[in-house]
Structure 1
Amino acid sequence: MFRKTSQFSSKTFLGCFGLLYLCGVFYFLHVAFHDRTEYDSEFEAADDADSVALGIGVVPPKLKFSSREALMAFRYKRYERAKRRPQRDGPGEMGKPVILTVEEQREADRLFAKETFNVVASNKVAMDRSIHDTRHPECKNVNYPKALPNASIVVVFCNEAFTPLVRTAHSIVNRSPPEYLHEVILLDDYSDRPELGDNLLEYVENTWPDGIVKVYRTNERSGLIRAKLAGAMLATGDVLIFLDAHCEVNNGWIEPILYRIKEKHSVVLCPMIDSINDKTLEYSDQGGVQIGGFSWNGHFTWRPIPKSIKQDLSPTDPVRSPTMAGGLLAVDRSYFFEIGGYDPGMDIWGGENLEISFRTWMCGGSLEFIPCSRVGHIFRSAHPYSFPDHKDVHGLNSKRLAEVWMDEYKRLFYMHRKDLLDKDAGDVSDRIALRKKLKCRSFKWYLENVYPEKYIIDENVKAWGYIRNPQSSLCLDLLGKDDKTVIPVGLFYCQISAGVGISSNQIFSWSQDNELRREEVCLDATPAGPDVLLLPCHGLKGHQEWYHNMESGIIKHVVTNKCLDHNNVGSSGKVSIQECDGKDSQIWAFEHYIES
């Protein structure tokens, strides 16, 4: 029987982590574990000192092997058997969508609110299903050297549905050459679902009796960020790879990651993320390669590769990225701890991806996407887990990264998150000391050298702030809608708080290219009119070029020669373009004008 591990407290872990890190012991502990032989780390329980230091026990595997050669022979046989398996014709095979009966669909709809994906479809799909190869043809012709580092795969979960969790582990073991797969760590962050108890332990023991897959548990909710740190402390492979618990790795996924890390020690890598449909379990690629950005409110964004970079890239080249999405990443294990791991002061989930992105770049490393490494991921429309006391953990975590890493540009974060100005995000002195110790560069350097395309709302512009009509006291406003979608530009009473500033829904700027824009979207109008929409900025002027006369106050749409007008629609109405006649409804003023 696969025994449960001993359990540990996240509070104890957090305190120990900080103490060990500050004393310099933490790195020594990891080196000591890393220097063990694979045979020792996999088949002998940790001694008492190690158990106390890590706060966790090590479970021996079901099978014993006389030698490393016998162990690897067992694993190669399993790997080759999975590669040669005949094509099956079952639900979801080759990544095809799962078709449900009317009754099954009714049950799927009932469970969707709890699981936030189609668990009925997932339960019909084989745990080790086949998927089609989404790599570019040139990736299949790359010959990687045999001598590559090995990897520990860390999968953190909390009340994850059983089948996507186990399917994640199957895909890793079946599609990773044994010499490169050191271990798969399934770290249970205090789940209370019955099927994740003894049932999971027995399944893992019987499916992988050689101990390649291991299950560990916390004895209280730690949150994704701290649980990942715990998983990293347990890992003994050369490379750490973090995956979400609802992934399926594709063919040839691990070699390009390990090769790049062998080439460059100080790089953090992300695979290309394919989509597993949350309703049908269909596996599909995401089209062209995109990279990561961020918005000034602290959220990750996807963006196209800049043309200046794209023109020099082959389909197999690593692609530099300013940020990463966060759930899926790979890094040399020693380097991960050298640059500070994750911020243990961050709670549950959110913000850690931007924090490690900024820190990696600013402290001498780099961040890249690897086009030849493909991993499928179930993208859910909502989180299936709760946040304690409905706490805004993403906002507070983002405040921590702003205070430590964004320097004077944190003003733009608070411009969008004024609600966080007086909120306590915890002590960040240790992280500030880490930044000083690592001799990290400024956030201005990051913007100029890593992310020069990032639009800065109040720099190198003609005007910024609210756009107000004095006669009505109305301002241009998003009306609470998401500006990542096409939306009409609305009007609302100007939201100005003394000492705090304006609402983030009312922040616009007039760029040097005569755009009226937010971060990534611009006011756009066509001769068909009269609606004014927010559309992605294209930089070609045309329908997105506006002329503003600061003396008369008019804002003229250059292509149509018409003027921006509130047309007496009132608050919560939509702005439009009308024939210019100088009436009061066409007079506008920015909050701030920049002298040229």
Structure 2
Amino acid sequence: MRRKEKRLLQFAGLLIAALLFLPNVGLWSLYRDRVFDNSPDTVDGPGGIPIIQGLNRMGKDAQVGRDGVRRKDWHDYEAIKRDASRSGNGEQGKAFPLSEADRVDQAYRENGFNIYVSDRISLNRSLPDIRHPNCKQKLYAERLPNTSIIIPFHNEGWSSLLRTVHSVLNRSPPQLIAEVILVDDYSDKEHLKVALEEYMVRMPKVRILRTKKREGLIRTRLLGAGAAKGEVITFLDSHCEANVNWLPPLLDRIAQNRKSIVCPMIDVIDHDNFGYETQAGDAMRGAFDWEMYYKRIPIPPELQKEDPSEPFESPVMAGGLFAVDRKWFWELGGYDTGLEIWGGEQYEISFKVWMCGGRMEDIPCSRVGHIYRKYVPYKVPGGVSLARVFTFGWREDVRVGDPMHTKKVCFDAISHNSPVTLYDCHGMKGNQLWRYRKDKSLYHPVSNSCIDSSPTERRVFMNTCDPGSPSQQWLFERTNATVLERFNRGNN
């Protein structure tokens, strides 16, 4: 009898232990899954601010992921709260109410955007948080590389330049900003000289570099990059506004893969009224057409991610705003110093990244507003820059494409002052007859004129030949002088 009682007691003990132990195993599994998952349970606190709750709270706001990396919430909730309480002209990114007096041409002439309106908006204005809601819950590595913010400028408006700097400093964790480098490309405006130096004294992380002559965008950027001390280089334009928590999402991707070049989503600041809006269509990636014009095209449905707030790969970037590991940037060779202005540098750096084993990514949770000018308000160094990039095949005409795989289209012009178009090659010379002269011009015997270009209208057309005009000089690399001479002689 005692033996049976003993067995019953043992069985009961095992049953009690199981009842106590198994639920705890379940609780441990739940704890483990939540702690090591990078998608914490959250609730909205005051003002819609997400608060991490429950078992996935470690320390103040950090978690340890499955990869062993401690991650935390980088939002500055005090700054968000302050911004939410602001009101006034342009606050919360609202459009400034324009009168007819505000739209005078002089307002745009010096900057390509309405500087009168810009001057009437706070340098610390608040912006709408238009990120995907999932971005408010994301955690990023507790230890991120710091960055040098490089902002090149030439004759930039006072308020637009300062607003760029203020937004970067106001909305970036201080420990992530190694420095802000303003690179002046030989500006001649008085407000960008002593006044700018005196203003920036109050901002110890900001320093100003100046070129000794007009260099253009690319060499100006390179000057800043060469002086940078941060682990990461972040390039911005001089008329931008950084939005909420814009920097950690960029640096986190570089921390995971130093060969990633990452771009924020570029929002639109209206050049008239300075209203802040999202660019049309977030599920878009960079691309270009056969004329080398940058475009944004939809991501194919099969490549779209379930979470639209997740980073996605892009073939090329827009070019003006991106972050890159400083050493990786120089391993890539930086920029080609022969690039005079914009309109090609984004392709060069993008192609090198992909060919050298890197990645190009757009980061939806990082947003920066940018003013798209009404027009370019100043002359560019080195003449003009044409968006169309061709490889020519020299035959009895001028054909576009690699000489070994020539497309069946040729340069075609009808008469003097007519546009230059691409037309099916007909082999009859005439409108498609060309000579490449010693003065580097492309001469058209039929119209007795040369190909000219218009940087403002972005087109090419026929014009009276002028050997001294830089807009009529077309430079070709790797030309065979013997073949070219035979080409021109044959056309005679």
Q: TM-score range by the shorter chain?
A: 0.5 to 0.7
Letter in 1 for 2:245: G
Match of 2:94 among 86, 93, 96: 96
Task: Summarize the Cα distance change of 1:128–1:321 in structure 2 as closer, same or farther, 3 Å threshold.
Answer: same
1:295-335 residue CA offsets vs partner (Å, 9 max, x unmatched): 2233322222123312x352122111111110111100110
How far apart are the structure 1 equivalents of 2:306 and 2:375?
35
Q: Which has the larger radius of gyration?
A: 2
Letter in 2 for 1:103: A
Q: Does 1:317 align with 2:310?
A: yes
Letter in 2 for 1:270: C
For residue 97 of structure 2, give the secondary structure of its aligned residue in structure 1. coil
Task: Summarize the Cα distance change of 1:280–1:457 in structure 2 as closer, same or farther, 3 Å threshold.
Answer: farther
Given that 1:299 and 1:351 are in contact with CA atoms closer than 8 Å, whether structure 2 keeps it comes out as: no
Q: Does 1:263 align with 2:256?
A: yes
For residue 346 of structure 2, give the secondary structure of its aligned residue in structure 1. helix
2:376 maps to: 383
Match of 2:103 among 92, 102, 105: 105
Match of 1:222 among 215, 230, 253: 215
**1:420 Cα deviation from its structure 2 partner:** 10
How far apart are the structure 2 equivalents of 1:164 and 1:375?
14
Given that 2:392 and 2:400 are in contact with CA atoms closer than 8 Å, whether structure 1 keeps it comes out as: no
- Unaligned residue ranges in structure 1 (runs of 5+): 1-78, 403-409, 422-455, 459-463, 483-492, 504-596
Task: Summarize the Cα distance change of 1:189–1:130 in structure 2 as closer, same or farther, 3 Å threshold.
Answer: same
Match of 2:184 among 180, 183, 188: 188
1:274 maps to: 267
Q: Does 1:291 align with 2:280?
A: no
For residue 131 of structure 1, give the secondary structure of its aligned residue in structure 2. coil
How far apart are the structure 1 equivalents of 2:341 and 2:409?
34
**1:153 Cα deviation from its structure 2 partner:** 0.5
Given that 1:300 and 1:354 are in contact with CA atoms closer than 8 Å, whether structure 2 keeps it comes out as: no
1:198 maps to: 194
Q: TM-score, normalised by structure 2?
A: 0.64
Q: Does 1:252 align with 2:245?
A: yes
Q: Does 1:179 align with 2:171?
A: no
1:511 maps to: none
How far apart are the structure 1 equivalents of 2:95 and 2:435?
54
1:139 maps to: 135
For residue 125 of structure 1, give the secondary structure of its aligned residue in structure 2. coil
How far apart are the structure 1 equivalents of 2:164 and 2:421?
35
1:205-241 residue CA offsets vs partner (Å, 9 max, x unmatched): 13x2xx1111121221111100101100111111110
Q: Aligned ranges for residues 547-558 of structure 1 at < 5 Å?
A: none
1:9-32 residue CA offsets vs partner (Å, 9 max, x unmatched): xxxxxxxxxxxxxxxxxxxxxxxx
Q: Aligned ranges for residues 55-134 of structure 1 at < 5 Å?
A: 82-85=79-82, 87-106=85-104, 109-134=105-130
Given that 1:144 and 1:256 are in contact with CA atoms closer than 8 Å, whether structure 2 keeps it comes out as: yes
Letter in 2 for 1:158: H
For residue 245 of structure 2, give the secondary structure of its aligned residue in structure 1. coil
1:166 maps to: 162
**1:457 Cα deviation from its structure 2 partner:** 9.7
1:349-382 residue CA offsets vs partner (Å, 9 max, x unmatched): 3311111111111121121111111000001132
Letter in 1 for 2:274: L
Q: Does 1:392 align with 2:384?
A: yes
**1:134 Cα deviation from its structure 2 partner:** 1.4
2:230 maps to: 237
1:37 maps to: none
Q: Aligned ranges for residues 147-162 of structure 1 at < 5 Å?
A: 147-162=143-158
Letter in 2 for 1:260: R
Letter in 1 for 2:91: E
Given that 1:291 and 1:321 are in contact with CA atoms closer than 8 Å, whether structure 2 keeps it comes out as: yes
Given that 2:144 and 2:176 are in contact with CA atoms closer than 8 Å, whether structure 1 keeps it comes out as: yes
Given that 1:351 and 1:394 are in contact with CA atoms closer than 8 Å, whether structure 2 keeps it comes out as: no
1:21-63 residue CA offsets vs partner (Å, 9 max, x unmatched): xxxxxxxxxxxxxxxxxxxxxxxxxxxxxxxxxxxxxxxxxxx
Count matched residues: 347
Q: TM-score, normalised by structure 1?
A: 0.54
**1:265 Cα deviation from its structure 2 partner:** 1.1
Match of 2:301 among 290, 301, 307: 307
Q: Does 1:343 align with 2:339?
A: no
**1:202 Cα deviation from its structure 2 partner:** 1.3
1:404-435 residue CA offsets vs partner (Å, 9 max, x unmatched): xxxxxx469x99x96999xxxxxxxxxxxxxx
Given that 2:399 and 2:406 are in contact with CA atoms closer than 8 Å, whether structure 1 keeps it comes out as: no
Q: Aligned ranges for residues 18-57 of structure 1 at < 5 Å?
A: none
Given that 1:317 and 1:370 are in contact with CA atoms closer than 8 Å, whether structure 2 keeps it comes out as: yes
Given that 2:400 and 2:406 are in contact with CA atoms closer than 8 Å, whether structure 1 keeps it comes out as: no
Task: Summarize the Cα distance change of 1:494–1:220 in structure 2 as closer, same or farther, 3 Å threshold.
Answer: same
Given that 2:216 and 2:381 are in contact with CA atoms closer than 8 Å, whether structure 1 keeps it comes out as: no
How far apart are the structure 2 equivalents of 1:340 and 1:316?
32
Given that 2:114 and 2:271 are in contact with CA atoms closer than 8 Å, whether structure 1 keeps it comes out as: yes
Given that 1:176 and 1:253 are in contact with CA atoms closer than 8 Å, whether structure 2 keeps it comes out as: yes
For residue 85 of structure 1, give the secondary structure of its aligned residue in structure 2. helix
How far apart are the structure 2 equivalents of 1:165 and 1:420?
41
1:270-302 residue CA offsets vs partner (Å, 9 max, x unmatched): 111000000010001113222111222333222
How far apart are the structure 2 equivalents of 1:420 and 1:203?
52
Given that 1:270 and 1:330 are in contact with CA atoms closer than 8 Å, whether structure 2 keeps it comes out as: yes
Task: Summarize the Cα distance change of 1:494–1:245 in structure 2 as closer, same or farther, 3 Å threshold.
Answer: farther
1:537-577 residue CA offsets vs partner (Å, 9 max, x unmatched): xxxxxxxxxxxxxxxxxxxxxxxxxxxxxxxxxxxxxxxxx
How far apart are the structure 1 equivalents of 2:208 and 2:265?
27
- Unaligned residue ranges in structure 2 (runs of 5+): 1-75, 423-428, 437-441, 443-492
How far apart are the structure 2 equivalents of 1:203 and 1:115?
21
Task: Summarize the Cα distance change of 1:156–1:355 in structure 2 as closer, same or farther, 3 Å threshold.
Answer: same
1:213 maps to: 206
For residue 140 of structure 2, give the secondary structure of its aligned residue in structure 1. coil
How far apart are the structure 2 equivalents of 1:189 and 1:81?
37
C-alpha RMSD of matched pairs (Å): 3.3
Given that 1:139 and 1:315 are in contact with CA atoms closer than 8 Å, whether structure 2 keeps it comes out as: no
How far apart are the structure 1 equivalents of 2:392 and 2:261?
28
Letter in 2 for 1:118: N
